[in-house]
Chain A
Amino acid sequence: GAVVSQHPSRVICKSGTSVKIECRSLDFQATTMFWYRQFPKQSLMLMATSNEGSKATYEQGVEKDKFLINHASLTLSTLTVTSAHPEDSSFYICSAPPGQGLNYGYTFGSGTRLTVV
């Protein structure tokens, strides 16, 4: 089946620094990547949708200048949390729909736990 590799799995950074999270589709081409944020005991909250070769689409209330998304190729999408603050501490997850012409569910990365101190 499809695999999305997400790194790092866990990161601790100082307040004011930036953190980059990578998601790679290993055996299929991901023209679209969804980025989610999840708080404890809650469901996934969609932050933005990245599309290869075009600007990301952000959900209402998500700061595009704070959460920079780049979809540089058909196999790599990145989320950069800029000038991170403790309130940005959360679990971030990426997800990709199946490749063109394929018929199975969406695949998720393993998640990144970000702690800002």
Chain B
Amino acid sequence: QKEVEQDPGPLSVPEGAIVSLNCTYSNSAFQYFMWYRQYSRKGPELLMYTYSSGNKEDGRFTAQVDKSSKYISLFIRDSQPSDSATYLCALSRDNQGGKLIFGQGTELSVKP
């Protein structure tokens, strides 16, 4: 069993839709949770960072963490064609040098 599971998609939605991306993990030692967006042939870009259960909102993005269920989500409201990219969840045990464990990445396509 992988430490972090993420549906690779691809996921295709119409412009303006709400997108839900999810990851599950198996080890309760993970305490820091990140979502990255990666465009083709570019480095990952940090979208959201959180370390507690609950919701965190930043513009059109909401990150949700449920430590009891070992489940994290990223919601994108009013999706735009420019949101078309691969989204990676990443988890770590600490944020001072511990390894990041990545999900497989979900390829998202937002159609105009």
A: residues with CB less than 8 A from B are 1, 6, 31-32, 34, 41-44, 46, 49, 51, 91, 93, 95, 97-98, 100, 103-111, 113
Does B43 sit within 8 A of A, measured CB to CB?
yes
Establish whether residues B105 and A105, one from each chain, have CB atoms under 8 Å apart when the complex forms: no
Residues of A within 8 A of B97 (CB): 31-32, 51, 97
Give bound CA distance, A49 to B45, whole Å. Answer: 20
Give bound CA distance, A42 to B102, whole Å. Answer: 11
Give bound CA distance, A13 to B102, whole Å. Answer: 30
Interface SS of A by simple majority: loop
Residues of A within 8 A of B49 (CB): 104-105
Interface size class of B (residues with CB under 8 A): 20 to 34
Does B25 sit within 8 A of A, measured CB to CB?
no
Establish whether residues A93 and B41, one from each chain, have CB atoms under 8 Å apart when the complex forms: no
Interface centre among A42, A44, A93, A110 (most CB of B within 10 A): A44
Q: Which residue of B95, B98, B99 contacts A103 across the interface (Cβ within 8 Å)?
A: B95
Given contacts A91-B41, A106-B34, contact A44 B46 (CB under 8 A): no
Q: Which residue of B43, B98, B99, B107 contacts A110 across the interface (Cβ within 8 Å)?
A: B43
Instruction: Give residues 49-70 of B contacting A (CB, 8 Å).
Output: 49, 51
